[in-house]
Amino acid sequence: MRFDGRVVIITGSGGGLGRSHALELARRGAKILVNDLGGSLDGSGGSASAAQRVVDEIIALGGEAAANSDSVATPEGGEAIVQAAVDAFGRVDVLVNNAGILRDKAFHKMDATMIDLVLDVHLKGGFYVSQPAFRVMREQKYGRIISTTSASGMFGNFGQANYGAAKAGLVGLTRVMALEGADYGIKANAIAPIALTRMTEGILGDLAGRLAPESVSPMVAYLAHEDCAVTGHVYSVAGGRIARILVAETQGVVLPSVSAEAVRDNLTEIDQSGDGHADYEPLALSEEVVIVAKALSNAV
């Protein structure tokens, strides 16, 4: 699966997962815009050297790459990142939203700055880079957008209310981009990776040696390729294990008389999944409305 002639933007690719993605796609012929602010794990500071080091690695492999150190956290920065790719290579075929920071703290102790900074980089960054890239892709009738969500967003994690909320928001953004891009050859998907990076050092225990960033990048390469057959999906990716994460709902119950007491008395059936109870996986609001309409019709 080659990427000859394709142009790829990867945010936060000065190290960790982003660097691994950049090298994987460059080996397959892609031209890479390596974006990295070069800041610390909490988002402070900055240096152009992180992005340039990865560019140098790609060039040493015989590939093509350009460095960029604009921030994803502002509309101007997002526009500048996409424009840098267009200026360097003439187009944008793939965007990998990978940039991220951490400001962990128990929810009741988390201050507004910690919330704002994490939302700015992860969630708003997803908006600010994806939107100008989406416009370019829409004009050329082709594109692939891969966003990096997290198990913290899909399932929750203590001390990461800001990070989890931002990562869950990226799933909603991905689903909408998939719907709005469908008629223009644009596919949008997300990954929830677990890998040994500076964000996860010291928390993976015995698994650390099996969770190299390089085990995640092949999935990104597939989702970035023209052969990608899915859109609007989210995948857990870790150490060679890949699984689809579903946003689903139970069959539910239509209450003949709606009251708090009726909810209490029917909660087991409302929550029941599997065991002969059909689960639904609506892929858009319109499909959810159809499910609700059918249930209400059958209950009459």
Is 163:102 a contact under the CB 8 Å cutoff? yes
Q: Is the pLDDT of residue 101 over 70?
A: yes
Q: Can you tell me the distance from the alpha carbon of 300 to that of 295, in angstroms, rounded to the nearest whole number?
A: 9
What's the pLDDT at 38?
A: 80
Q: Is the pLDDT of residue 58 over 80?
A: yes
Of 40 and 180, more confident: 180
Which token pair is 59? Answer: 């060039």
What's the pLDDT tens digit per position in 133-158? 999 999 999 999 999 999 999 999 99
Q: Is the pLDDT of residue 231 over 80?
A: yes
Closest by CA to 199, choosing from 41, 76, 15, is: 41
Residues 6+ apart with CB under 8 A from 111: 105
In the predicted model, what is the mean pLDDT of residues 225-239? Answer: 96
Is 91:75 a contact under the CB 8 Å cutoff? no
Which strand (E) or helix (H) includes residue 27? helix 16-27
Task: Report the length, in residues, of the chain.
Answer: 300
**Domains, the chain:** 7-245 (3.40.50.720), 260-299 (no CATH)
What's the pLDDT tens digit per position in 256-287? 999 999 999 999 999 998 766 668 999 999 99
Closest by CA to 195, choosing from 20, 24, 13, is: 20
In the predicted model, what is the mean pLDDT of residues 240-260? Answer: 93
The single residue listed with the structure tokens 């969500």 is 149
Closest by CA to 36, choosing from 6, 16, 58, is: 16
Q: Which residues are catalytic?
A: 163
DSSP state of 249: B
In the predicted model, what is the mean pLDDT of residues 166-186? Answer: 98
What's the pLDDT tens digit per position in 20-55? 999 999 999 999 999 999 865 655 555 678 999 999
What's the pLDDT at 111?
A: 97
Q: Report the share of the chain in percent with pLDDT over 70.
A: 91
* Global pTM exceeds 0.75: yes
DSSP helix/strand/coil, 199 = coil
Sheet of strand 94-97, all strands in order from the earlier edge strand to the far edge: 64-68, 31-35, 7-11, 94-97, 143-148, 186-193, 234-238, 241-245
What's the pLDDT tens digit per position in 190-221? 999 987 655 555 555 566 667 788 999 999 99
What's the pLDDT at 155?
A: 94
Sign of CA dihedral 122, 127, 130, 133: negative
Residues 6+ apart with CB under 8 A from 1: 28, 221, 222, 225, 227
The strand pairing partners of 143, in sequence order, are 186
What's the pLDDT at 107?
A: 95
Average pLDDT, the chain: 92
Of 48 and 127, more confident: 127
